[in-house]
Chain A
Amino acid sequence: MSHYIAKRILLLIPIILGVVTLVFFLVHMIPGDPVEIMMGEQAQAADKEALRHELRLDRPVAEQYRVFLSGLVRGELGRSIHSREAVTEIILKRFPATFILTLAAMMVALLIAIPIGILSATKQYSLMDNASMLFALIGISMPNFWLGPLLILFFSIRLGWLPVSGIGGVQHLILPAVTLGMGMSAILTRMTRSSILEVIREQYIVTARAKGLAERVVLFKHALKNALIPVITIIGLQFGALLSGSIITETIFSWPGIGRLLIQAINQRDYPVVQGTVLFISLCYVLVNLLTDLLYGAADPRIRVGGRGADA
C-alpha cells in the first residue's frame, strides 16, 4: 500500500507544477498592459510604476516565474491590489465558508441519493423507480444558477421561510446547500441504483439468499458494502464539480466563500487574488482526487495491485 501511495504522490508533482505554471501565465495572457487594466487609465504614472514593480512585471519572465515559485513554496501568493491584504490570508479567511457549504451540499446529495438509489434498485421498473429516475434526469439538467433563484423565489420570497442570502445560522445554509448539492444527488442516485443492480446479480448474493438470510440482511450487509465502492469514487470526482459549482452558488446567495471572492476579484480586476484563488481551488481538487484514489485503493485491493487500464 505504501508503494502505491508513494507512486500516486510522485505522479502528482508534474501535474501540480503544470497547474502552477498555467496559473502563473494567466496574468501574461491579459491583452494589453495588465497594470493599466488593473488600475484603470486615470491612475497616476507613479502608482502604475509602483504596481508594475511590485508585481515584478518590469522584470524578465523567467525571473518573475522563479519569484512566483519561491513565494509559493513559502505560502505567499502576493498582495491584493484592492485591499493590500496578503492573498493567502484572504483565501484562508474565506475558505471555511466554502468548506462548510461544500460539506453541507455533499450531505444533502447523500441524504437524497442513497435512499432513493436503494429504493429504486430494489423496486426496479416500479412507479417509484421511474419517478426517481425522472428526478435524476431533471436534477442533472437543472443548472444551479436557475435552481438557486427558483428556491429563493419560492422559499424566501413567497413563503418567507428562509433567508434570501448571507451567512448566519443553519437556516442560511439550507438553500445554498440544496442548490449546490442537487446536481450531485442526481448523479449519485443513478450511480447507486445501477451499482446495486449490478451487485445484486452476483453469485455471492445468490448464495446469501440461498442460505436463507433475510432480504434486509442480504441488501444492507452483503450488497450495499460492495455497491458503494464505485459511489465513493463518484463522490470524490464530484467534489470538483462542487468546488466549481460553489463559485456560482456563492455568488447567488452572497455566501462569503472563495467562489464569491473569485468573482469579486474578477470584477475588481484584482489579478493577484484571481490567480491565488484559481490556484487554491485547483490544488484542493487535485488533493481530493488523490485522497479518493487512495481511499478507493484501500477499499478495493484490486486497484492498487493492477493498473487502471490503458487509459490511466
Chain B
Amino acid sequence: MRKHRLALIGLIIVIVMTTVAALSPYVAPYDPSELDLAGNLSGPTLSHPLGQDKLGRDILSRILYGAQVSVKVGTVVVGISLSVGLLIGSLSGYAGGWIDEIIMRIIDILQAFPGILLAIAMTAVLGPSLNHVIFALCLTGWVGYARLIRGQILTVREREYVQAARALGAGPLRILMRHILPNTLAPIIVEATFGCASAILAEAGLSFLGLGTQPPTPSWGSMLNEGSHFMLVAPHLTIFPGIAIMLVVMGFNFLGDGLRDWMDVQRN
C-alpha cells in the first residue's frame, strides 16, 4: 500500500514537471533572462519568492524554465537509447554467433567506463553544449536496454509459443513484435523510468561542472554551479535548484519502484 502511494506521488511529480516545462512561458512570473541589477543576490521576497541571482534574474522563473532542459534531456536520451538498444539488442539476441559476440564485447568496453566518466570525456573534447551532453549520454545509454532485450530474446526464443509461431511461418520481425516485445515491455518501461532519472541527474552534474547547458539557457545544474560561488552571501542560489533536481529524480525513482512492484505482482 505504502509503495502504491509513493508511486502515485512519483507520477504526480513527473506530470507536474512535464506540465511546468511545457507551460513555463505562461506560468513563470518573469522572463528567465530579465536582468535587475538592483536586486542582485537578494533573498526571497514577495515579488521574487525564491530570490534573485547575481544578475538579479528571478530564481523561480529560471527553475520553471530549467524544467524544459531536464524534460528534453530525459525524453530525448531515453528515446534514442531505447530505440538503439532495442535494435542492437534484438540483432544480438537473434543473430547469435560472432555478431552477438562483437556486440557484447562493445557493450563490455562501454561499461568499463564508470558512471558519467565517458560523458565527461566526450563533452570535454566536443565542447560544452546541451546537444553534446545528449549525444554523450546516448552513447552509453543504449547498453542497458540492449542487454535487457537480448537476455529476454535468449530466454523466450526456445519457449513453445515462439516455436509454434515459427512453425506457423512467422518471420523474425513478426515474432519480435508480436511475441517477444510485449513480454519484455514491463522491464523496459521500468528501466526507461529509471533512465529518465539518471539522464536528468547526469545532465545536471555535467552542467554543474560547466560541461553541459551553457548560459544564458537556465539549467538546474548550471544554476547550482553559479550558486556555489555565492554560498556565503546567497545560500538560496544553492538551495532551490537543488530541491528541484532532487524532487524530480525522486519522482522518477518512486514511479520506477512502484511500476516494478506492480508489474511483479501482475506477472505472478
- Residues of A near any B CB (own CB < 8 A): 14-16, 18-19, 22-23, 26-27, 29-31, 130, 137-138, 140-143, 145-146, 149-150, 152-153, 157, 239-241, 243-245, 247-248, 251-252, 262-263, 266-267, 271, 274, 278, 281-282, 285-286, 309-311
Contact = CB atoms under 8 A, between A and B. Distances in A.
Contacts of A26: 121-122, 125
Interface of B: 2, 6, 105-106, 108-109, 112-118, 120-122, 124-127, 147, 150-151, 154-155, 197, 201, 204-205, 208-211, 221, 224, 227-228, 231-232, 235, 238-239, 242, 245-246, 249-250, 253-254
B105 A247 contact: no
A32 B122 CA distance: 15
A22 B117 contact: no
Contact of A141 (B115, B122, B221, B249): B249
Contact of A143 (B114, B211, B228, B246): B246
A138 B249 CA distance: 10
A278 B116 CA distance: 11
Contacts of A130: 2
Across chains A and B, which 10 residue pairs bring their CB atoms closest together, nearest first?
A244-B115, A240-B114, A18-B109, A146-B242, A141-B250, A266-B124, A141-B249, A285-B114, A145-B208, A310-B154
A248 B227 CA distance: 15
Nearest to B109: A18
Nearest to A130: B2
A129 B118 CA distance: 37
A238 B168 CA distance: 47
Contacts of B254: 137
B246 to A, nearest CB: 5
Nearest to A133: B2
Contacts of A29: 122, 125-126
B125 A27 contact: yes
A130 B5 CA distance: 13
A153 B231 contact: yes
B201 A143 contact: yes
A16 B80 CA distance: 27
Nearest to B108: A15
B144 to A, nearest CB: 11
B180 to A, nearest CB: 14
A265 B208 CA distance: 16
A262 B179 CA distance: 47
A274 B123 CA distance: 12
Nearest to A34: B125
Contact of B117 (A146, A281, A309): A281
Given A18-B105, A157-B232, A30 B249 contact: no
A245 B202 CA distance: 11
18 contacts: A22-B109, A26-B122, A26-B125, A31-B127, A142-B246, A143-B246, A149-B227, A149-B238, A150-B238, A153-B238, A157-B231, A239-B114, A244-B114, A244-B115, A248-B205, A248-B209, A274-B124, A310-B155
Given A29-B125, A244-B116, A140 B155 contact: no
Contacts of A146: 224, 238, 242, 245-246
Given A137-B250, A145-B224, A15 B151 contact: no
Contacts of B6: 137
A245 B117 CA distance: 9
A278 B250 contact: no
Given A26-B125, A143-B249, A150-B242, 20 more contacts: A14-B105, A16-B112, A18-B109, A18-B112, A19-B109, A22-B109, A26-B122, A137-B6, A145-B204, A146-B238, A149-B231, A244-B114, A244-B117, A248-B208, A267-B210, A274-B121, A274-B125, A278-B120, A278-B121, A281-B117
